[in-house]
Amino acid sequence: MDSAAEWIKIWNQRHGTTLPLSVGLLERTFFSVGPERYRVAQTPQYLILTTVEPGKLRVHLIVEKSIKSGGSNTIEIIKYLDEQARELGAPRILFGGGEPHLFPGVPLCDSEKKWLEYFQPSGPVVWDFLADLESLKLETGDTSDWKLSSPKTKNAETQLLEFVAQEFGGRWEREIAHDFSHGQGEHYFSFENDGKIIGYVRLYGWRDDYWAPGVYFSGPGRGVGGLGPIGVASSQRGLGFGTTLLRESLIFLKQKGLKTVRIDWTTEKKFYEQMGLRGIQSYQPAVRNVS
């Protein structure tokens, strides 16, 4: 898309503090699905990026050149989306989400909330979190019974992959399988208690040659660490292991020389707030039914 830089500049002028876009980010996400699936609509006043799925039209990004036009752009954009959905025979238009995706829903920024007048919420609000690692209270606890370790052998990778498949499955399983097959297992850590895996976490940001698909917006090489996914076995929840795993993960990133940690797209708001991280952006998954 020849004019991508112009539209990205407009977006970043409004949302660059919390949701900075780049050409590289669009290439790794939206354009990576292939031209048979993505659609780009441009007029002098707006840009719309959508992808086509069976029975669905998914909105990934809407950028308006001016947001002070009395709502005329908004109505025109909604009409365009409805027409596209009908042309495809798709009864639903989803805002955000998908795999890969830019946002998990409508970014709840002042200029973007208006889309919820035309879409209905379809899931819980999702949050991004950020923290200065120096300001967090990260005293380590008693480590006699548990440990955080990266798999060093193929057998250890297999055991961790089997744990993730059994406990979480879905995207978590697909991502760890992909990374292990591409020699990037060092960014995954098993959380073991009494010699048994009870949780795991993916940590990254200290090396520029690896940047996981989750934390897009900070970008590598800025001293920003990434964390997630993170999880504890269903049978071990409610015992404090999740808090311990989060604390030790943050300590690890700090020891790697990172100054900041960012966690993108989580519904676990209280879990991160209790460790001192602050929510910097929220999103609302949303759907529009087309008659």
For the stretch 176-225, pLDDT in tens is 999 999 888 999 999 998 889 999 999 988 876 666 555 555 555 567 88
What's residue 76's pLDDT? Answer: 94
- pLDDT, mean over the chain: 89
What value, to the nearest 5°, has the Cα angle with vertex 134 and ends 133 and 139? 85
What's residue 140's pLDDT? Answer: 63
For 65-102, the pLDDT digits (tens) are 987 655 678 999 999 999 999 999 999 999 999 877 88
Per-residue exposure over 100-130, b if at least 16 CB sit within 10 Å of its own CB, e if not:
ebbbbbbbeeeebeebeebbeebeebbbbbb
For 140-164, the pLDDT digits (tens) are 655 556 788 899 999 999 999 999 9
**Cα separation values, 92 from 18, 31, 40, 59, 81, Å:** 29, 22, 19, 11, 10
What's residue 225's pLDDT? Answer: 87
What does the DSSP 8-state code read for residue 281?
A: E
Element at 217 (helix H, strand E): none
Chain centroid, CA 17 distance in Å = 16
Q: Which of 98, 216, 229 is nearest to 164 (CA)?
A: 229
At the second CATH level, the architecture of 130-266 is 3-Layer(aba) Sandwich (3.40)
What's residue 2's pLDDT? Answer: 55
Domains 4-125+285-289 and 130-266 share a fold: yes
> Helix H segments across the chain?
4-15, 23-28, 72-88, 154-167, 170-181, 241-255, 269-273
At residue 268, does pLDDT exceed 60? Answer: yes
What does the DSSP 8-state code read for residue 256?
A: T
Q: What percent of the chain lies above the pLDDT cut of 90?
A: 65
Residue ranges per structural domain of the chain: 4-125+285-289, 130-266
Q: Which of 212, 230, 217, 221 is nearest to 266 (CA)?
A: 230
CATH topology for the 4-125+285-289 domain: Aminopeptidase (3.40.630)
How many CA atoms are closer than 13 Å to the CA of 278, on its beta-carbon side? 8
